[in-house]
Structure 1
Amino acid sequence: MDEIIKGENTSYARYEELITRRDNLKKEAFQYHRAYVREFGDLILDVFKKKIECIQKKKTIEYCQAALNHGKAVDQKAMQEYLEKEMAEFKAQLKDMVKEHEESLKDGTITEKDALEIKRIYHRLVKKIHPDINSAVSKSLTLMDLWNRVVISYECNDLKSLMELEVLVNKALEEMELEGTDFEIPNINEKIAELEAEILKIRETDPYQYKYLLENTDSVAAKKADLKEELKSYEDYSNQLDEILEGIMGKGVKITWQMN
């Protein structure tokens, strides 16, 4: 009997440790992604803006050519409505990219002491209200809301919020009489195997792999050079599209590009 209990405790400890490690890696990947956006964001945005400019010009050419093929005049108002519809998704992507870049620039640095305290608090909260460990959490709107707030605060290195949330979590568990409850984890060995596979995948893919790029100054310089080259190719293509459109419509027709 003692061996069975020991085995179960060992599996639980391993499961808990893997959950914490997985979440730590997810957080690190989030931070590497933010660092990547800070480092390359301006160039990435310039490339994407020029790319969607080329797409819009190409669609304009196709629209005008179709009208001329049918012997019809080009209705610029109708064409603009068509372009707005066709470009909506691209412009939404651009808006999200701009927002992400702005948020990455606001990220601050934290001390090593604060980073360790954030990990300690998060580890304590994992034991108490991680949905994979405490099945009661998914059944409680209060606990689920608290857990979601914990995850956001942890990802953003917000020590103050985590400290406040720990107080709220302890109070909620006490009121629900769940503090100190032992939680049974069904199929724990299968879950352990799944976590191990997930951890491996996180470490071997982006954005976690950005870590190795960002740590190498030569690689950073090479990445920026590649982005500048890509931007130049889109600029050249945009000029070519202007020439094609001018040839289709004639020099007397003016197209106003609305990218915002």
Structure 2
Amino acid sequence: MADIVKKHNTSYARYEELINRRDELKKEAFQYHADYVREFGDLILELFRKKIECIQKKKTIEYCQAALNHGKSVDQAHLQAYLEKEMADFQTQLKDMVEEHEAALKSTVVTEKDLLEIKRIYHRLVKKIHPDINPAVTGSEELMDLWHRVSLSYSCNDLKALQELEILVMQALESASFDALDIPDIEEKIIELEREIKEIMETDPYQYKFLLADSKAVEAKKEDIKAEMKTYEDYNKQLDEILEEILGSGVKITWQMNCQ
């Protein structure tokens, strides 16, 4: 593979440095998000379940009230079909949250030694097949697939996968043929990378870093979630009372929440 043309000034070095910095921050943000889910996931899931329970009951009330206003009886089968349709997006969101929580709980802690090796391998691969460093890579389906796998392994701190991928990348590059490349508009790209880095550091999930480092803030956050759950519990009781009024004393509705 031909060497990429590097400017004699410091632009190329700065560009490569910023790409590595951005990707490192993205990975840190990914890890902070997993830490956040591990810390608050149980409470967040419980809160969301209470929210969708209230939403379903509110939709039931609206459905029943509309039927009664038109002098019609409430068909339970039609009501259930209506609720399943209305609640589908919420159930999908809940399923995704459960899977995210389970994945966070399964993630393992990586040693400092392994983290350093992960960083070294990734930086070597960035020089060779990062599409922003070598745009010609985008023309190779094999190299792009390898790059996506490298990015995922880096985000997940999977040292073994990166070690194996480095071998595959070297094999793929042996058979690749690229002309010498320049990086067009490098100064503009540097400015954009600096903007992107600033945005990552100033927003969630990277900002979770500071919350998670403060034990008092963590406890305060948990208390806030519990307080919000209490409001939904109270609201749930109010909705039950409204349903009792609409459907008549002694009438029961069997809730089929399917909450995972």
Would the TM-score normalized by the shorter structure come out above 0.5? yes
Q: Which residue is equivalent to 1:48?
A: 48
Matches within 5 A, 1:71-150: 71-150=71-150
Gaps of 5+ in 2: 1-5
1:139 is displaced (CA, Å) by 1.1
Following superposition, the deviation at residue 176 of structure 1 comes to: 1.1
* Residue 6 (str. 1) matches residue 8 (str. 2): yes
2:101 counterpart letter in structure 1: H
1:226 aligns with 2:224: yes
- Determine the C-alpha separation between the residues in 1 that align with 2:132 and 2:251: 63
Superposed CA offset, 1:63-83 (max 9, x none) = 000000000000010010000
| Map of 2:235 onto structure 1 | 237
Q: What is the rounded CA distance, in whole Å, between the counterparts of 1:119 and 1:30 in structure 2?
A: 15
Question: Which residue of 2 is the match for residue 252 of structure 1?
Answer: 250
Q: Distance in 1 between matches of 2:20 and 2:103?
A: 26
**Aligned-pair RMSD on alpha carbons?**
1.1
2:17 corresponding residue in structure 1:
17
C-alpha distance in 2 between matches for 1:75 and 1:67: 9
Deviations 1:141-197 (A, max 9, x none): 10111001001100110000000000000100111135xx64311000000000000
How many residue pairs align between the two structures?
253
CA distance in 1, matches of 2:7, 2:226: 61
Secondary structure of 2:135's match? coil
TM-score, normalised by the number of residues in structure 1: 0.95
Per-residue deviation, residues 14-52 of structure 1 (Å, max 9, x unmatched): 000000000000000000000000000000000000000
> TM-score, normalised on structure 2?
0.95
Partner of residue 175, structure 1: 175
Q: Which string of whole-angstrom CA distances, capped at 9 and with x for unpartnered residues, describes residues 98-157 of structure 1?
A: 000000000101111100000000000011111111112211110111001001100110
C-alpha contact (below 8 Å) 1:11/1:189 kept by paired residues: yes
Residue number in structure 2 paired with 1:213: 211
1:6 aligned partner, one-letter code: H
Structure 1, gaps ≥5 residues long? none
Aligned match of 1:34: 34
Cα contact 1:214–1:220 (8 A) shared by 2: yes
> Counterpart amino acid of 2:54?
C
4+ residue runs over 4 A deviation:
none
Which residue of 2 is the match for residue 203 of structure 1?
A: 201
- For the 8 Å contact 1:133–1:183, the answer to whether it is kept is no
